[in-house]
Amino acid sequence: MTPMLEVRDLVVAYGAIEAVKGISLQVQAGDVVTLIGGNGAGKTTTLRTLSGLLRPVAGQVLFEGERIDRVPAHEIVRRGIAHSPEGRRIFPRMTIEENLELGAYSRRGKTAEIRDTIDRVYALFPMLGERRGQPAGTLSGGEQQMLAVGRALMSQPRLIMLDEPSMGLSPIMMQKIFSTLVELKGQGTTILLVEQNAQAALSLADRGYVIETGRIVLEDNGPALLGNELVRKAYLGEE
Ligand SMILES: Nc1ncnc2c1ncn2[C@@H]1O[C@H](COP(=O)(O)OP(=O)(O)O)[C@@H](O)[C@H]1O
Ligand SMILES: [Mg+2]
């Protein structure tokens, strides 16, 4: 089966410095795939390249069998990939609903359909619906993360990429975000999850990749990586 997303020997640099040094990975439709690794490993650089915000120096990215590594970011969204960025990047002075509407820019004009998707996001995150008219800046960190995920869903992606959705959240909020991901997967959304929280991500993932200084050093199914000795030592804080 052709993978939904295929990354082949991807190299990404900032000037002379290579941040991603030839990584390859695959995401099958319907799966949750996680990319785990420490600070500075190249996770965000990878996601920003997949969504067209950075251009690779070498390598290929294929989505549903077609090259997208030279396709503009807005066109990648239109084709079905959404990106919830690191650090959330919501607009604090705009209302929750206005933030969600921004996520639907690739579908502008389709007012009724956009309305349906907003309602779907409110069904997934009732708290956002209850507070739809409030400035997004009044939300807690965890709630803002939900808004960032909700906004990414507004383009009706087939693949959603999340960059460290658990960063800075309380364990309860983190659990809420992760249980929403399970619900999304149940609805048929494919997920590429970037995380430093290896335990949580691998518990959820069908497949995982471990990235260290721009290279994939391990790949396996979620349970196998969770039991892997190197992963346990390096990422789960075990002796
Ligand atoms: N805008 C940038 N300019 C120069 N170097 C950068 C930039 N962004 C990230 N880097 C470097 O690229 C490497 C990978 O960073 P990043 O992709 O953000 O890692 P991660 O998301 O895994 O923490 C790091 O060494 C980082 O310092
Ligand atoms: Mg990062």
The pTM of the full predicted model, rounded to 2 decimals, is 0.95
**Structure token digits, residue 234:** 């390096």
Mean pLDDT for all residues in the chain: 94
pLDDT band at 106 (very low <50, low <70, confident <90, very high): confident
Q: Report whether pLDDT(163) > 90.
A: yes
Nearest CA to ligand 1 atom 18: 44
pLDDT (0 to 100) of residue 239: 60
Domain map (residue ranges) of the chain: 5-235
Task: Provide the percentage of residues in the chain whose pLDDT is more than 90.
Answer: 83
The residue among 173, 5, 183, 164 whose CA lies nearest residue 80 is 5
The binding-site residues of ligand 1, defined as CB within 6 angstroms of any ligand atom, are 14, 17, 19, 37, 39-45
Q: Which of 11, 12, 14, 209 to mutate to test the pocket of ligand 1 (most atoms within 8 A of CB)?
A: 14
83-93 pLDDT, tens per residue? Answer: 999 987 899 99
- Which CATH class name applies to 5-235? alpha beta
Mean pLDDT of 176-185: 92
Ligand nearest the Cα of residue 164 is 2
Lowest mean pLDDT among 17-26, 73-82, 99-108, 211-220: 99-108
Q: How far is the CA of 76 from the centre of ligand 2 (A)?
A: 21
**Res. 104: pLDDT tops 90:** yes
- Answer yes or no: is pLDDT of 238 > 80: no
- Nearest ligand 1 atom, CA 42: 17
Q: Which residue, judged by its Cα, is nearest atom 20 of ligand 1?
A: 40
In the predicted model, is pLDDT for residue 192 greater than 70?
A: yes
Helix and strand counts by DSSP (H, E) for the chain: 10, 10
Output 187 or 7, whichever has higher pLDDT: 7
Report the sign of the C-alpha dihedral through residues 222, 226, 229, 233, in that order: positive
Write the residue with the smallest CA distance to atom 2 of ligand 1. 14
What sign has the CA pseudo-torsion 34, 35, 39, 45? negative
Report how far ligand 2's centroid is from the alpha carbon of 113 (Å).
33
Strands of the 17-27 sheet, one edge to the other: 17-27, 5-14, 58-63, 66-67
